[in-house]
Amino acid sequence: MHIDILTIFPEMFEGPFKHSILKRAQEKGLASIDLINIRDYAIDKHKRVDDYQYGGGSGMVMMIEPIARCIDHLKEKRAYDEIIYMSPDGILFNQKIANQLSAFKNILILCGHYKGIDERIRATYITREISIGDYVLSGGELGAAVVADAVIRLIPGVLNDETSALSDSFQDNLISSPVYTRPAEFRGMKVPDVLLSGNDKAIAQWRFDQSVERTRERRPGLLDEQ
């Protein structure tokens, strides 16, 4: 899978994409990410990408020309399955959307700043708008990193243990069961006996029961979702 991320702050991604699973996915050739600086597509020599908003009011707006030129140029190279704009008024990101996106070949993620982007970009280029929560961030970069992380770890082969992602929370609309590692006893707190029993069937049943109980307790709404 290839992800193009359009941003005016490409440096913001250096941390998240250069470590751990995301780094490994790129090294294995399972995912590639290009950070594209919208400023490189500015139309004046000052590399300006924002301007005052029509109608007045505080806050700048990202201009249409640099973004349109940038997307037009990239579209000559790739056919995108989805052109995503990170936006607080988009659809709330969840595991289901991450699963859908992980099956795609090429996606583009546009990060806004300031008051947002000129509405005409949203109307003409964007195929999906994603929010990472009901709060306002100063830019789309952190959201794009969240989406890229959640999506890339679902690509087959990225996680070492292929079944590992399947037992994570939200797959099957259930919260993950609790997990333990050594020692079997710490300050009197014991690991549940069943996990030490070696009985795979009993362990699977215990984990399922725990998942259902936890979901009922913590996120009952998930059980009603399809």
Residue 7 in the binding site for ligand SAH (CB under 6 A): no
Nearer CB in complex with ligand SAH: 36/111: 111
Between vectors from CA 44 to CA 42 and to CA 50, what angle results, nearest 5°?
55
Residue 54 in the binding site for ligand SAH (CB under 6 A): no
Between vectors from CA 160 to CA 12 and to CA 1, what angle results, nearest 5°?
50
Q: Are 63 and 107 in contact (CB under 8 A)?
A: no
Nearer CB in complex with ligand SAH: 74/118: 118
**20-27 vs 141-152: helix crossing angle, rounded to 10:** 60
Nearer CB in complex with ligand SAH: 97/212: 97
Q: Which of 165, 178, 166, 161 is nearest to 212 (CA)?
A: 178
Select the residue interacting with ligand SAH from 12, 80, 116, 170 (CB under 6 A).
116
Instruction: Draw the binding track, 180-199, toward ligand SAH (x: CB under 6 A; -: no contact).
Output: --------------------
Please choose, out of 5-13, 135-143, 174-182, 201-209, the segment that lies near ligand SAH by the rule CB under 6 A: 135-143
Nearer CB in complex with ligand SAH: 6/158: 6
* Ramachandran class of 172: left when φ > 0, alpha when ψ lies in -120 to 50, beta otherwise: left
Backbone phi, psi, residue 17, to 5°: -90, -5
Distances (CA, A) of 145 to 17, 18, 159: 8, 12, 18
Please choose, out of 14-22, 24-32, 139-147, 151-159, the segment that lies near ligand SAH by the rule CB under 6 A: 139-147
Q: According to CB under 6 A, which residues from 68 to 107 bind ligand SAH?
A: 86-89
Residue 131 in the binding site for ligand SAH (CB under 6 A): yes
CB of 109 vs ligand SAH, minimal distance in Å? 10
Q: How many CA atoms lie within 13 A of 54 on its CB side?
A: 4
Q: Are 177 and 211 in contact (CB under 8 A)?
A: yes
Select the residue interacting with ligand SAH from 79, 123, 136, 189 (CB under 6 A).
136
Q: Which residues bind ligand SAH (CB under 6 A)?
A: 86-89, 111-113, 115-117, 131-133, 135-137, 139-140, 143
